[in-house]
A and B are shown apart, each in its own frame.
Chain A
Amino acid sequence: MLDIAAQFVTGLSIASILLMVALGLAVIYGTTGVINLAHGEFVMLGAYGAWFAQTFLGLGLIASMPLVFVAVALLGLLTERSVIRWLYARPLDTILATWGVGVVLQQAVRLSAGGELRYVAAPHILDVSLDLLGVSVSAYRVFVLVVALAAFAATWAIIYRTALGLRLRAITQNREVAQAFGVNADRVYSLTFAYGAGLAGLAGALVAPLKSVAPEMGTAYVVDAFMVVVLGGVQSLFGTVASSGLLGELSGFIAYLSNDTIAKAVVLLAVVVLIRFRPQGLFTRRGRA
């Protein structure tokens, strides 16, 4: 019984990391339709941002998080302005373009920060274990869960409770009509892309103390993020939450019952089968253009 509870909490923790990594992608993909293969590199930049802040500015992880968010968001903005905005009419070409951006970012980090693995310390106050559902769990993992839920709540509020979000939803439904009503689609897209990149950066900073920080770390995350978004349904924020919860619990339990190699294969297979019979994902919103 305790084992099942422990494994459930573990699944939640895996899910929170998935959600954090996928949220930025869900925002970008769901609204602009851009398949951003550089998403993993934004995650990686966030991790390096946390490392930089800690090593050169003497900032702890929590203090560096807003900084990392802003810095990676600005870089996202720059990417959108210089590359992505010319390709909105050609969504397939964005795959190649963003992949190229990803390679450039990866090599830029390797050349400037070096190829070795980097160390980012977890905040000292979170260096303890908490009791959750009768299970002892690391405080840092609980912190990740809380931040992921907060990031989700903030994203939801921006899309459904602000003027920017209203414009964004209008553009998503029908860009031409929205523009005819005076919505500046270019500006909204830029901001959305920057916000999504910022979220990815935040995710990178959050995973840095649990995992390792290296120039190629992004590749694994971009795969996870796409799996979550595609399974959840492209335009559904709640779908993203539900599918990260599902994938987290599923891979956690299978890894516990058998091993991580099998878990990875089974989860991918399950997603493939599901997409075959439900190509729109688990959750869909009505009223798409």
Chain B
Amino acid sequence: MQKALVIDPVKCTGCKQCELACSYVKEGEFNPAKSRIRVFDFHQDARFVPYTCTQCAEAWCQRACPVDAITTNEWGVKEVHDGLCVGCKVCIIACPFGTVNYNASTGKVIKCDECGGDPACVKACPTDAIIYMDVEQAGFGKMRQWAAKTDTAAQATQ
């Protein structure tokens, strides 16, 4: 079964608990700059948009990696293996969503791995703006449609 993070920006109040939870669980520090999820603030429109990796079926980051450091686990999640990652950063420019980032203190790239099936951001979100559910029920197509338009073939859907 494939599960996915499903984000409903309308429910987001911009409290950024998800960013803190993510950086704490993944990096051991409360540092939003190292969070795998980011909440974008649109003050003027009173909107907040939590934003993270959509775990593309055919992932640009994975294919662009020159050393096979990004693999797909049983839940369809793309994981970066620190032991193999050389920090070349090709994945961070290849990902058209900008959801793979570089961690200068480790020299490796970081991206959402859904915390191995128990995402910290979901637990931290007080308003259910981020939930974790079956891919089939999630109406997950929207971001992947974006993906399809981004590249040279409709690869994210295959």
- Are chains A and B native binding partners rather than an unrelated pairing? no
Residues of A whose CB lies within 8 Å of any CB of B are none
Residues of B whose CB lies within 8 Å of any CB of A are none
